[in-house]
Amino acid sequence: MRPAPLIPLFANAKSLTGIGPRMELLLKKALRLPPGVTEPRVIDVLWHMPTGVIDRRATPTIAAAVPGTIATLEVRVLKHRPSPRGNARAPYKVLCEDETGQIDLVFFHAERSFIERQLPVGAMRTISGRVESYNDRTQMTHPDYIVAPEARADLPMLEPVYPLTAGLSGKILIKAARQALERMPQFTEWQEPTWLAARGWPDFTSALTRIHRPEDATDISPGSGPWQRLAYDELLAGQLALALVRQNLKAQKGRAVGGQGHIRARIAKALPFGLTRSQHEALREIEADMGASHRMLRLLQGDVGSGKTVVALMSMAIAVEAGAQAALMAPTEVLARQHAETVAPLAQAAGLTIGLLTGREKGRPRTELLERLASGEIDILIGTHALFQPDVVFKDLAFAVIDEQHRFGVHQRLALQTKGGNGGANVLVMTATPIPRTLLMTHYGDLDVSRLTEKPAGRKPITTTKVSTDRLDDVIDGLKRAVTQGAQIYWVCPLIESSDKSELAAAEERHAHLSQIFGAENVGLLHGAMSGAAKDAVMAAFSEDRLKILVATTVIEVGVNVPNASIMVIEHAERFGLAQLHQLRGRVGRGDRQSYCMLLYKAPLGETAQSRLDMMRESEDGFLIAEKDLELRGGGEVLGARQSGAPEFRVAEVPNFQELVAAARDDATLVLNQDPDLASPRGQALRVLLYLFECDEAVRLFRAA
């Protein structure tokens, strides 16, 4: 249960004055809601951080006001000059004065009755806005604020500027944030007083208040004391949640699984190449985990093409050698089917029975598959989210592999783990996204980590070039020559934001263009809106060399394996993150041919885009690229958090993110060593912190597991 003092903060944002159904919809667009939250709440308004500030503290006389600056003036209303009848385009003017001179307040397309109510003749008013000079007269067009003397205190002299959406005004957000602040309870401090004092950080409520009601223009800076304090709170909550999860898992009795190695020996014999040093090392670590009495939860990180699937198969074979079953779950149907195809010949050589379950298996075939699974006839089940469904029952699941872990949440990891019955299944999660050390701490702190650092023997380096879109005709001429020599080509189109064109439309347009040049029978199209069967048909045609060019959206990013494809063209490469560019490049360089990656960009390039594309040309080391990506983009986005439901920071994307994460991790470890149940006074306060940053869900789930 959420602590009672926090309940007002988690109420619907409509409980704030001025937020009706229409404003709620606009807030939903403007605020970054956490995964699974569909309606904006009071707390989401508080976590909507300003990006700047308007300083209204200058209060000159009219005579001293400098044109072009923001000023706050005390004036008396003298006279209204409405627009001449029949000339709606002429402005409505209101003449005001102070003891030093006069100013015209100018309104276009104004409602007369509204202005008369706001500015009654003879009344004193405080106005704030940009001062201008027009025909030697001082004027202010559409003042930002017009307030009566009794409401003067409500005028934000330092006005936060928030990210907005069409139809949502900054004034509405300021009013909502101020009301939200009033609901803030008095918290018991959860941070160490000496740590706060050393950094000069305020208490939590003061920090949040100074962000939304700044006392100084520098308060609204990610490097300021108030913002740093909140960033550290968020990181500490995340680190505590992960440490609690890990602590609980280690305490839970797992299931020791060991095999004699006979199936693994048959797989090794069927492999066309020997295992690399890091594959051997990863398998040793996995085997040790599986044989231990606590639950296994390990992350296998391997760069594109480093042989994770073989490690996964060998690990699953340990469970089968012990007389149990294993499962491999992939985020997409294309990837699940590909895993099944990759594994099938090796499994056959080793005498393993494989099953495939995706959303497409229906009716009698699905029922038969589930019967064979429940009877233990199927050794390894490969599939998508379909593996979570209640009617999927294993005879004895001892080991589960989850591929591309960042596409799945903690909940799903648990759902599969608990299908393991007695003691739960041992879990190996894999990712081809090389993860920097800092992010391992923030996103995967509950996991032990193995890394595959070499590529299999025989892989040639990929030649990467960057080419301006002005040279598109030269690129296409080069592709014509490559196709005549038997090459196959991927052409990836980006997601196009802030445009009427969708990702799909861009891909369709490029597909039509290339079809005219290379012939429609040689060019395929693959995108996320296609049915599973249609995607498979296109991929099969490309794999079998019936298509020479595959135009695709980023659905091909993970796991697609066509050894003959040797050229990757990434259109508008400047719009992609480094990690994604690296993933896409990894689709080529899998066969005997020399492979190429062309980064097509539209000039001029910004500084960050230039750094990204240069890094791609300089290195193929995914781990190095991931560190650079973190440096360029900050911690919250590198794993594609917004698309995937992985943890996303609401406050903690700050300049010294890495130092704060490391400090938060040390603090969390220290706290739980001394107070594993969070029962001490500080522990109780930290529980409130976990609820405040909504880390309570992960902790509750793991405690129930």
Residue 113 sits in a domain whose CATH number is 2.40.50.140
φ and ψ at residue 140, rounded to 5 degrees: -135, 115
Looking at residue 30, its pLDDT comes to 93
- Nearest C-alpha neighbor of 246 from the set 200, 208, 296: 296
Same domain, yes or no, for 311 and 421? yes
What is the gyration radius of the CA atoms in the chain, in angstroms?
30
Question: Considering the domain boundaries, does residue 678 fall inside one?
Answer: no
210 versus 451: the higher-pLDDT residue is 210
Structure tokens at 692: 């405040």
Q: Which domain holds residue 435?
A: 262-452
Q: What pLDDT, on the 0 to 100 scale, is given for residue 499?
A: 46
Q: d(Cα 640, Cα 237) in Å, to the nearest integer?
A: 21
pLDDT for 167 beyond 80: yes
Identify the pLDDT of residue 584: 87
- Residue 701: band (very low, low, confident or very high) from pLDDT cuts 50, 70, 90: very low
Q: Looking at residue 439, what is its pLDDT?
A: 65
- One domain, residues 437 and 469: no
pLDDT higher for 535 or 120?
A: 120
In the prediction, which pLDDT does 496 show?
47
At 704 the pLDDT is 38
Nearest alpha carbon to residue 424 among 292, 289, 252, 298 = 252
Backbone CA torsion sign across 349, 351, 356, 361: positive
Last residue of a domain, one of 452, 474, 501: 452
The answer to whether 104 and 116 are in contact (CB under 8 A) is no
Buried-exposed string 593-623: b where 16+ CB fall within 10 A, e elsewhere: bebbbbbbbeeebeeebeebbebbeeebebb
Q: What is the pLDDT of residues 452-472, one digit of tens each?
A: 887 766 677 899 999 999 999
Q: Find how far residue 416's CA is from the centre of its chain.
A: 23
The mean of the pLDDT values for the chain is: 86
113-127, 361-375, 615-629: lowest mean pLDDT where?
Answer: 615-629
Given phi > 0 = left and psi -120 to 50 = alpha, else beta, which region is 606? Answer: beta
The 3-state DSSP class for residue 245 equals: helix
| Same-domain pairing of 555 and 571 | yes
* pLDDT of 7 strictly over 80: yes
Span 543-565, average pLDDT: 80
Co-location of 176 and 99 in the same domain: no
Structural domain contains residue 676: no
The pLDDT assigned to 447 comes to: 72
For the cut 70, the answer to whether the pLDDT of residue 192 exceeds it is yes
Measured CA distances, 586 to 299, 493, 540, 556, 567 (Å):
20, 16, 19, 10, 11
Same domain, 150 and 34: no
> Residue 445 above 90 pLDDT?
no
Using pLDDT thresholds of 50, 70 and 90, give the confidence band for residue 504. Answer: low
Given this model, what pLDDT does residue 412 score? 57
Please tell me whether residues 510 and 528 are part of one structural domain.
yes
Confidence check: pLDDT of 495 > 60: no
- Residue 619 covered by a domain: yes
Is 499 inside any structural domain?
A: yes
Q: What's the average model confidence in pLDDT over 655-668?
A: 87
Going by the DSSP 8-state scheme, the letter that residue 370 receives in this structure is H
Q: Which of 164-178, 291-305, 525-539 has the highest mean pLDDT?
A: 164-178
Query: Does any domain span residue 285?
Result: yes
> What would the mean pLDDT of 140-154 be, rounded to a whole number?
94
How many domains does the chain divide into?
A: 4
Instruction: Tell me: pLDDT of 449 over 90.
Output: no
Residues 439 and 583 in one domain: no
CATH number at residue 378: 3.40.50.300
Of the two residues 49 and 593, the one the predictor is more confident about is 49
Please tell me the predicted confidence (pLDDT) of residue 367.
94
For residue 489, the model assigns a pLDDT of 95
pLDDT digits (tens, 9 = 90+) for 285-326: 999 999 988 878 788 988 767 788 899 999 999 999 999 999
* Model pLDDT, residue 195: 93
What's the confidence (pLDDT) of residue 703? 43
Question: Residue 531: what are its φ and ψ, rounded to 5°?
Answer: -70, 160
Query: Do the strands 448-452 and 297-302 form a parallel or antiparallel pair, or are they unpaired?
Result: parallel
What's residue 443's pLDDT? 61
Specify whether 525 is located in the same domain as 573.
yes
Average pLDDT (320-337) is: 89
- Kindly give the pairing relationship between strand 92-98 and strand 448-452: unpaired
Residues 512 and 631 in one domain: yes
Residue 1 scores a pLDDT above 80: no
**For residue 558, is pLDDT > 90?**
no
CA angle 528, 531, 536 (to 5 degrees): 90
Q: Are 655 and 222 in contact (CB under 8 A)?
A: yes
| pLDDT tens sequence across 399-441 | 989 887 555 555 555 566 666 666 678 888 888 766 766 666 6
Q: Is 300 found in the same domain as 414? A: yes
Question: At which of 616, 639, 662 does a domain end?
Answer: 639
- Say whether both 282 and 399 belong to one domain: yes
Kindly state the percentage of the chain with pLDDT values over 90. 56
Q: Poorest-confidence range of 2-16, 211-225, 446-460, 532-546?
A: 446-460
